Amino acid sequence: MRTAVLSSLRLALTLLVIVPFRLAAESEKPVVEVLVSFQEYDTNVPWQRDATKDRRGFGLMLNESVIITTESLIRNQTLIEIRRPRSGRKETARLIQADPQIDLALLALDTATRIPVASLPSSTAPEATTTTASILQITASGEPQEGNGRIVQWKVDELPNAPYAVLLGSILTDLNIDGAGAPVYIDDRLAGITLSYHGGSRTALMLPAMFLQQFIDDVQSPPYRGFASAGIAWQPLIDDTKRAYFGVPATEPGGIQVLGVLPGTNGENPLQPNDIILEINGTAIDAQGFYNDPVCGRLAFPHMIKGNHRPGDHLQVKRIRDRQVATDTVVLRRFNDADLLIPENPEGLPEPYLVDGGLVIRELTGRMIKAPGKQWTLRTNPRLAHLYLARQTDVQKPGERVVILSSVLADPINIGYQHLRDEVIETVNGTPVANLHNVLAAVDREGGIHRLGLRGSGVEIALAPGALDEANQRIATQYRIPQLRREPSPPATAEPANMTARPDAPVPADK
Between 72 and 257, CB nearer to other proteins: 257
- The answer to whether 51 touches 198, Cβ cutoff 8 Å, is no
Of 78, 312, 82, nearest in space to 218 by CA: 312
Q: Around Cβ 253, how many Cβ atoms within 10 Å?
A: 12
- Least Å distance, CB 294 to other proteins, is 32
- Least Å distance, CB 380 to other proteins, is 9
Name the one range near other proteins by CB under 8 A: 150-158, 235-243, 281-289, 296-304: 235-243
Considering only 70, 72, 414, 435, the residue that binds other proteins (CB under 8 A) is 414
**57 counts as binding other proteins under rule CB under 8 A:** no
**125 counts as binding other proteins under rule CB under 8 A:** no
Considering only 95, 125, 128, 389, the residue that binds other proteins (CB under 8 A) is 389
Element (H, E) at 186: strand 183-186
Using CB under 8 A as the criterion, what x/- string covers residues 195-234 for binding other proteins? ----------------------------------------
Name the one range near other proteins by CB under 8 A: 138-146, 304-312, 464-472, 489-497: 464-472
**378 counts as binding other proteins under rule CB under 8 A:** yes
* CA angle at 222 for the pair 221 and 228, rounded to the nearest 5°: 85
**413 counts as binding other proteins under rule CB under 8 A:** yes
Of 4, 67, 79, 7, nearest in space to 31 by CA: 67
- Measured distance CA(94)–CA(69) in Å, rounded: 12
- Measured distance CA(138)–CA(177) in Å, rounded: 9
**471 counts as binding other proteins under rule CB under 8 A:** no
Between 151 and 434, CB nearer to other proteins: 434
User: Tell me, what amino acid is at 62?
Assistant: L
Q: In this structure, what DSSP letter does residue 490 have?
A: P
**21 counts as binding other proteins under rule CB under 8 A:** no
- The answer to whether 278 touches 285, Cβ cutoff 8 Å, is yes
- Considering only the C-alpha atoms of the chain, give the largest distance between any 2 of them, rounded to a whole number of Å: 79
- The three-class DSSP label of residue 419 is coil
Considering only 200, 222, 416, 490, the residue that binds other proteins (CB under 8 A) is 416
Question: Considering just the CA atoms, what is the radius of gyration of the chain in Å?
Answer: 25
Phi and psi at residue 468, in whole multiples of 5°?
A: -65, -45
Between 309 and 450, CB nearer to other proteins: 450
* Residues near other proteins, by CB under 8 A: 235, 238-239, 241-242, 244-245, 257, 259-260, 273-274, 375, 377-378, 382-383, 385-386, 389-390, 393-394, 413-417, 450-451, 455-465, 467, 499, 507-508, 510-511
